[in-house]
Amino acid sequence: MHLDWDGSIGTIHYFANGSRKVPKERFVGYADGRTVVIENFRGVRSFGFKGLKSERLWSQQKGHAECMDAFLRAVRGEEVVAPSWDEVRNVTRATVLAREAVRSGVAFRV
């Protein structure tokens, strides 16, 4: 999927047939001669960002435990967790446009 909105470009590739030696999830961001790399949600390397240190975590954090905790708090009535109408509309619109982009090969503004 390829997105382009304000001159920035984002490309998402998801493959399940690569080497196990290569990180399965990788984010690389470029901005104004700077770069940040996040691999497998375990480490971040930054190049050219003052004050942003590279670090490596011992465990992989994808937010699953936090999501389950929030769900249980909501079920127990301890916290109201509800997306706004704008969030629901935007996610639905992005999902429909992503599907159409894959089907047609044409990028859409989200």
| Domain membership of residue 84 as a residue range | 63-110
Amino acid at 14: Y
Q: How many domains does one find in the chain?
A: 2
Which residues are paired to 18 by β-bridges?
A: none
Please state whether beta strands 26-31 and 34-39 pair in parallel, antiparallel, or not at all (unpaired).
Answer: antiparallel
- Among 14, 39, 58, identify where a domain stops: 58
Residue for token pair 């301890």: 78
How far apart, in whole angstroms, are the C-alpha atoms of residue 27 and residue 61?
A: 14
Q: Are residues 14 and 29 in the same domain?
A: yes
pLDDT band at 10 (very low <50, low <70, confident <90, very high): low
pLDDT band at 38 (very low <50, low <70, confident <90, very high): confident
How far apart, in whole angstroms, are the C-alpha atoms of residue 31 and residue 60?
A: 26
Q: Is the pTM of this model over 0.75?
A: no
Q: Are residues 44 and 89 in the same domain?
A: no
Q: Are residues 28 and 80 in the same domain?
A: no
Q: Are residues 81 and 97 in the same domain?
A: yes
Instruction: Compute the Cα dihedral for 60, 62, 68, 73 and give only its sign.
Output: positive
The pLDDT score that the predictor gives to residue 4 is 46
